[in-house]
Amino acid sequence: MKNIQLLSGIALIALSFTSCKDEKQEKAQKTIDAYVAYVDSVKNVKADDLKADWKDVEAEYDRRAENAQLALADIKDNAAETERINASKTKYEEFKNEMTTVFAPPAPSPKQQLRNALFGEGKIGDDMSFSWVNAQNIHSVYQQFVHTVEDNKDSYSREDWDEIKVLYEALDSRKNTVEKEGLSSEDNRKIAGLKVKFAPMYTVNRMGAKSEENREAKK
């Protein structure tokens, strides 16, 4: 009798263990299913709607992806589920790259690209404000401007040179203000040297660009 009770007890423990194991595997399966479904659902959302909440989308994806990966350990034969997870990862990464391109700001216009090169990214916009130029940095601003023009003078079009002239005159106008705000004589001297370098470079190369355009037009 005692042996029967002992065997019954062992059977109950084994049954309980199997039931617990099945429940754990079922939960793991649902976690993986939820991950795969999330990736598919995100791909069906309009780009405009995604853009505003993209950080939240990525955070939720990371959470679900991590949970799905951990869930594999609770599935005995998980080759098929591993393949599903990897397929969803690939699908999401491709979608993420696509959205990165969609969400990217439009490329700056050629005129803005020129301004960025001459003064730094976003320093000069459509308002043409030079208020950020002061007695402490104006020499370095002239330096970057003149050296950039010198490095790229052979590639500028006539329109580029016209824009360069407008920008140069605006910088000169700012210098008149800065001189009253403590511009050092040393920096003033260095700026004068840069201006001497720029003037003939502008005149010669703009004339060359115009002549080149005339030759192209005749063709």
Residue 169 is predicted with a pLDDT of 96
The per-residue pLDDT for range 78-103, each reduced to its tens digit, is 899 999 999 999 999 998 998 888 88
Packing angle of the helix pair 138-152, 110-119 (nearest 10 deg): 130
How far is 176 from 173, CA to CA, in rounded Å?
A: 5
pTM of the full structure: 0.57
Domain definitions of the chain by residue range? 2-103, 110-218
What six digits make up the tokens of 129? 């404000």
Residue ranges, the chain, pLDDT below 50: 1-19
Average pLDDT along the chain: 85
Q: Give how far the C-alpha of residue 115 lies from the chain's centroid of Cα atoms, to the nearest Å.
A: 20
The per-residue pLDDT for range 22-57, each reduced to its tens digit, is 788 888 889 989 989 989 988 888 888 888 888 888
